[in-house]
Amino acid sequence: MHASKKIVVTGGAGYIGAHTVVELMNAGYEVVVIDNLVNSDMTLITGIEKITGKKINFHKGDCRDKTFLTNLFRTESIAGVMHFAALKAVGESVQKPLEYHENNISSLITVLQVMREQKVKDFIFSSSCTVYGQPDNIPVDEHAPFKKAESPYGLTKQICEQILEDVYKTGFRIISLRYFNPIGAHPSALIGEMPIGTPNNLVPYITQTAAGWRDKLIVFGNDYNTPDGSCVRDFIHVVDLAEAHVKALAWLQATKTTALYEVFNVGTGNGVSVLQLVNAFIRKTGAKLPFRIGPRRPGDVEKVYANPEKINRMMNWKPRYTPEDALVHAWAWQQKLSR
Ligand code: NAD
Ligand code: UFG
């Protein structure tokens, strides 16, 4: 057992990181948050403090700044790292491939270098189902091969996973969690997703349209080979995803193996179409949601959902919430933002 329960969370001021900080604190961990606020501000940190009633140990800084990280790791006794910090907008990555590669890959390498020097071994990485592209078999399991990445963003996730596969052999204990489509917000409505500018993702676009911030939702395509013609995804509540991180960490800390690398899908196992999600939002919230069918969005995969059997079995993790719950929580959060 580790003497220290202090966990560094990089990117902890962002959407998934912030929800995970809450669950880590609920589970009794001490958390040190690092974020350079390139895609966030202090709103979610304040929200976490309200939910937990505790002050957050927050350090503004960049994961590519080795001196900053080294000083931090020297002054705190760190048991492990959860690495969320990355740039994540698929479309923007096509415009700015160098920025994406530089930020996402240099951040990973610098964090690992400092961990090695400071003898911290336990590491959890935010990966994505994007590494699969359009898989040949659905539900997709962890053995499916990487397909050619659809975007520079997707390529950074594939490269980062390959780096981790090399590096663990030198004495790291590493888990990559391949998230499917995280949606929703904390049930308290004190933290949630805060996209800067026009949202790319479906659920913030839905909630902003229903709130009157946007005119109309465009459903990108209804001519796919799916039951209702719209794309199919595996929508997972962000709090369930946060809990998967806590389970993964506990699992890592309980194992005695000195070097390991494991990859887990984190999804519900259920495919839900875009139109099903849109209709569920209208039904569950009673809100008005103007939408129309538009053309396909380039780069979208037709359907993908997880085989989550590995994480179910090895970590005893199962989602507690439905996509409908996530929509209700996202709507409550949106209404708070709109006030
Ligand atoms: P987010 O943008 O809300 O959070 C990422 C945080 O990292 C932001 O607060 C940003 O300011 C910070 N950051 C970025 N570069 C940094 C750097 N160099 N140093 C310090 N901080 C830095 O994104 P999110 O949705 O919470 O995503 C978290 C992680 O999960 C990312 O790695 C993302 O690629 C991955 N992921 C997200 C999704 C999704 O749909 N949201 C799906 C799969 C994987
Ligand atoms: N969609 C719409 N209208 C919108 C926004 C989205 O119809 O305004 C549709 C998309 O076409 C897609 C579905 O809703 O069919 C989900 O789209 P998102 O952008 O919310 O999510 P993606 O599945 O495209 O992307 C997510 C993550 C990425 C990750 C990718 C891997 O956001 O980080 O999964 O497939 F790379």
Confidence tier at 5 by pLDDT (50, 70, 90): confident
Which among 8, 9, 15 is the best mutation to test ligand 1's pocket, defined by most ligand atoms within 8 Å of the CB?
A: 15
1, pLDDT greater than 60: no
Question: What's the CATH number where 87 sits?
Answer: 3.40.50.720
The answer to whether residue 15 is catalytic is no
User: How much is the pLDDT for 4?
Assistant: 63
Separation of 328 CA from ligand 1 center, angstroms? Answer: 23
Confidence tier at 196 by pLDDT (50, 70, 90): confident
Residue 316 within a domain: yes
Residue 71 within a domain: yes
The total domain count for the chain is 1
User: How much is the pLDDT for 138?
Assistant: 97
Please give the mean pLDDT across all residues of the chain: 96
Residue 205 within a domain: no
Residue 298 within a domain: no
User: Of residues 153, 224, 305, 321, which has the active-site annotation?
Assistant: 153
Is residue 219 lining ligand 2, measured as CB closer than 6 Å? yes
Residue 276 within a domain: no
Residue 216 within a domain: no
Separation of 44 CA from ligand 2 center, angstroms? Answer: 23
269-305 pLDDT, tens digit each: 999 999 999 999 999 999 999 999 999 998 899 999 9
- The whole domain housing 64 covers 3-187+235-268+307-320
227-239 pLDDT, tens digit each: 999 999 999 999 9
Residue 8 within a domain: yes
Is residue 204 lining ligand 1, measured as CB closer than 6 Å? no
52-78 pLDDT, tens digit each: 999 999 999 999 999 999 999 999 999
184, pLDDT greater than 70: yes
Which among 134, 233, 275 is the best mutation to test ligand 2's pocket, defined by most ligand atoms within 8 Å of the CB?
A: 233
Separation of 232 CA from ligand 2 center, angstroms? Answer: 10
The three-state (H, E, C) secondary structure of the chain, written as one string:
CCCCCEEEEECCCCHHHHHHHHHHHHCCCEEEEEECCCCCCCHHHHHHHHHHCCCCEEEECCCCCHHHHHHHHHHCCCCEEEECCCCCCHHHHHHCHHHHHHHHHHHHHHHHHHHHHCCCCEEEEEEEHHHHCCCCCCCECCCCCCCCCCCHHHHHHHHHHHHHHHHHHHCCEEEEEEECEEECCCCCCCCCCCCCCCCCCHHHHHHHHHCCCCCCEEEECCCCCCCCCCCEECEEEHHHHHHHHHHHHHHHHHCCCCCEEEEEEECCCCCEEHHHHHHHHHHHHCCCCCEEEECCCCCCCCECCECCHHHHHHHCCCCCCCHHHHHHHHHHHHHHHHC
Residue 52 within a domain: yes
